[in-house]
């Protein structure tokens, strides 16, 4: 036998369904106006990105190339000697650094669950204002050992996401947040 | 009503938004739009009780998102989804533009509402569900804004705690507003002769 409270909640549920069913569908004008504005903004952004930047002089290019090469060598050396002191997570929900954690030092390692949908990943780190601070090159590992490429000021909040590359849907893991004290 | 999950599954709202904002990817925006369009409009419709007002505000919210840049507009926040941002923007807009400026709620009686609806719309419209929508709209607009505010959040699956946060009202007040709003809506449905599934409320 149904209790009064059960009847009441059943009635509430029917009311909710009726209101949901009666909710209007957007007009074509509504959708077109919004999508047209979005396409215009996207086009302007894409054009802005494509604008040629000031060309660098040859000496400056040489210095930059040397710098990039040095970072690449350092990165390769690190990858070849992974730190086994980290405990590998057995559950897919675990990421390092954990979502919402407060850290006294910048993370030395980012790790995420491996996915069968992608062979390569790209890690991106953003500040609180969603400005991209750094993005890794594509990597086949489900972790990134941080070197000098990423310097994060203290007393700030950051989030990071991992793009699953080579996947038709381009899914993403994250965002995961951490605060640096 | 489904809620967007920002941490797993398909490409997240935050990532899509950043691809749109920073890379000029229009498809990314369209994915977000298709994902949340109906939920936002349903929320604004139950908040305002008027499809035209709901569409106006919905359009405003989406255009604000389009115009977001690094200095202003939407910024991802921990624990708050993009849909939460859109709903909050829409609710503030409604309060500023429609509640404060245009003030008073409609005061038609339920009989007036039924008569008006039946005289203005044809049987063909009724078959398309337009009449039912209008009866519900009229019933919604009869509620005081505070009750409609709570009901619109309840329809979206907000918890009582979330409602308390947005309305800045104590728990008992929120529960009371919800209770009276449901009672009035039930009465309006009965008066209009609407049956909900296999039983009247």
Cβ count within 10 A of residue B122: 11
DSSP B69: -
User: Residue A144: which of A117, A170, A106 has the closest Cα?
Assistant: A106
Q: Say yes or no: B130 and B182 in one domain.
A: yes
- Of B103, B119, B139, the residue at which a domain comes to its end is B103
Q: Say yes or no: B93 and B149 in one domain.
A: no
Contacts of B1 in chain A (CB under 8 A): 20
Q: Say yes or no: B47 and B136 in one domain.
A: no
Is residue B142, in this structure, part of any structural domain at all?
yes
Contacts of A24 in chain B (CB under 8 A): 41, 45, 51, 54-55, 133
Q: How far is B138 from chain A (nearest CA, A)?
A: 12
**3 state SS of B48:** helix
Among the residue ranges B3-7, B52-56, B115-119, the one predicted with the least confidence is B3-7
With CB atoms and an 8 Å threshold, state whether B196 touches A177.
no
- CATH number, domain with residue B114: 1.10.10.10
Predicted local distance difference test score (pLDDT) of residue B199: 40
Q: Say yes or no: B37 and B70 in one domain.
A: yes
Domain count along chain B: 2
Percent of chain A with pLDDT over 90: 22
**Parallel, antiparallel, or unpaired for β A109-111 and A143-145?**
antiparallel
Q: How far is A170 from chain B (nearest CA, A)?
A: 6
Is residue B150, in this structure, part of any structural domain at all?
yes
Please compute the mean of the pLDDT values over residues B108-130 and round it to a whole number. 47
A40-54, A151-165, B111-125 — most confident range: A151-165
Is residue B1, in this structure, part of any structural domain at all?
no
DSSP B60: H
CA distance A74 to A67: 11
**Class of A101-180 in CATH:** mainly beta
With CB atoms and an 8 Å threshold, state whether B10 touches A171.
yes
Q: Say yes or no: B92 and B133 in one domain.
A: no
User: Per-residue confidence at A110, pLDDT binned at 50, 70, 90?
Assistant: very high
Query: For tokens 């305002």, what's the residue?
Result: B48
- Of B71, B87, B103, the residue at which a domain comes to its end is B103
Please compute the mean of the pLDDT values over residues B9-38 and round it to a whole number. 89
Q: Say yes or no: B90 and B150 in one domain.
A: no
Q: Say yes or no: B97 and B147 in one domain.
A: no
Q: Say yes or no: B96 and B125 in one domain.
A: no
CA distance A18 to A96: 45
Is residue B34, in this structure, part of any structural domain at all?
yes
Is residue B156, in this structure, part of any structural domain at all?
yes
Predicted local distance difference test score (pLDDT) of residue B189: 79
* C-alpha pair distances (Å), B137 with each of B44, B98, B112, B122, B141: 12, 16, 13, 17, 6
- CATH number, domain with residue B58: 1.10.1740
Q: Say yes or no: B109 and B201 in one domain.
A: yes
Predicted local distance difference test score (pLDDT) of residue A118: 80
> pLDDT tens, A141-173?
889 988 888 889 999 999 999 888 877 666 788
Is residue B2, in this structure, part of any structural domain at all?
no
User: Per-residue confidence at A53, pLDDT binned at 50, 70, 90?
Assistant: low
User: Per-residue confidence at B102, pLDDT binned at 50, 70, 90?
Assistant: low
Q: Which residue has the higher pLDDT, B138 or A56?
A: B138
Is residue B3, in this structure, part of any structural domain at all?
no
With CB atoms and an 8 Å threshold, state whether B55 touches A26.
yes
Over 90: is that where the pLDDT of A83 sits?
A: no
Range of the domain at B98: 9-103
- Of B74, B103, B132, the residue at which a domain comes to its end is B103
Contact (Cβ atoms closer than 8 angstroms) between residue B60 and residue B73: no
Cβ pairs A/B, distance under 8 A? 149
Of the candidates B41, B76, B132, the beta carbon closest to that of A175 is on B76
Q: Say yes or no: B56 and B111 in one domain.
A: no
Domain coordinates in residue numbering, chain A: 101-180
User: Per-residue confidence at A76, pLDDT binned at 50, 70, 90?
Assistant: low
Q: Say yes or no: B46 and B130 in one domain.
A: no
> pLDDT tens, A23-32?
888 889 999 9
Chain centroid to CA B62: 14
With CB atoms and an 8 Å threshold, state whether A38 touches B26.
yes
Q: Which residue has the higher pLDDT, B10 or B43?
A: B43
pTM for this structure?
0.64
Contact (Cβ atoms closer than 8 angstroms) between residue B197 and residue B151: no
Is residue B4, in this structure, part of any structural domain at all?
no
Q: Say yes or no: B82 and B151 in one domain.
A: no
User: Per-residue confidence at B17, pLDDT binned at 50, 70, 90?
Assistant: very high
Contact (Cβ atoms closer than 8 angstroms) between residue A145 and residue A108: yes
Over 70: is that where the pLDDT of A86 sits?
A: no
Predicted local distance difference test score (pLDDT) of residue B191: 79
With CB atoms and an 8 Å threshold, state whether A38 touches B30.
yes
Q: How far is B65 from chain A (nearest CA, A)?
A: 9
Of the candidates B20, B33, B63, the beta carbon closest to that of A42 is on B20
Contact (Cβ atoms closer than 8 angstroms) between residue A43 and residue B26: yes
Phi, psi of A175 (to 5 degrees): -75, 150
Please compute the mean of the pLDDT values over residues B156-173 and round it to a whole number. 89
């Amino acid at each position: 036998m149904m209790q009064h409270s059960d009847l009441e909640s059943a009635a509430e549920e029917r009311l909710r369904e009726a209101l949901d069913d009666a909710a209007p569908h957007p007009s074509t004008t509504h959708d077109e106006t919004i999508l047209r504005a979005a396409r215009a903004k996207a086009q302007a952004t894409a054009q802005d990105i494509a604008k040629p930047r000031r060309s660098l002089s040859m000496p400056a290019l040489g210095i930059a190339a040397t710098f990039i090469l040095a970072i690449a060598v350092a990165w390769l050396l690190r990858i070849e000697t992974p730190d086994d002191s980290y405990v590998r997570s057995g559950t897919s929900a675990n990421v390092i650094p954990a979502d919402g954690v407060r850290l006294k030092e910048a993370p030395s390692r980012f790790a995420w669950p491996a996915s069968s949908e992608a062979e390569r990943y790209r890690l991106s780190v953003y500040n609180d204002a969603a400005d991209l601070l750094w993005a890794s090159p594509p990597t086949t590992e489900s972790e990134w050992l941080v070197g000098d490429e990423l310097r994060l000021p203290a007393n700030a909040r950051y989030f990071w996401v991992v793009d699953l590359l080579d996947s038709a849907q381009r899914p993403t893991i994250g965002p995961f947040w951490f605060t640096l004290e | 009503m489904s809620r967007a999950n920002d941490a797993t599954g398909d490409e997240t709202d935050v990532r899509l938004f950043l691809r749109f904002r920073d890379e000029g990817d229009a498809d990314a925006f369209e994915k977000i739009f298709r994902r949340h369009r109906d939920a936002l409009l349903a929320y604004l419709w139950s908040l305002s009780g008027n499809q035209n007002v709901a569409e106006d505000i919905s359009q405003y919210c989406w255009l604000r998102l389009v115009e977001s840049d690094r200095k202003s507009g939407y910024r991802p926040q921990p624990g708050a989804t993009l849909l939460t941002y859109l709903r909050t923007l829409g609710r503030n807009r409604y309060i500023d533009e429609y509640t404060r400026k245009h003030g008073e709620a409609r005061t038609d009686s339920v009989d007036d509402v039924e008569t008006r609806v039946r005289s203005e719309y044809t049987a063909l419209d009724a078959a398309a569900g337009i009449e039912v929508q209008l009866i519900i709209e009229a019933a919604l607009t009869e509620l005081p804004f505070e009750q409609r505010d709570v009901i619109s959040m309840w329809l979206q699956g907000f918890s009582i705690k979330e409602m308390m946060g947005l309305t800045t009202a104590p728990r008992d007040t929120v529960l009371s507003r919800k209770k009276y709003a449901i009672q009035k809506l039930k009465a309006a449905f009965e008066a209009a002769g609407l049956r909900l599934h296999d039983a009247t409320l």
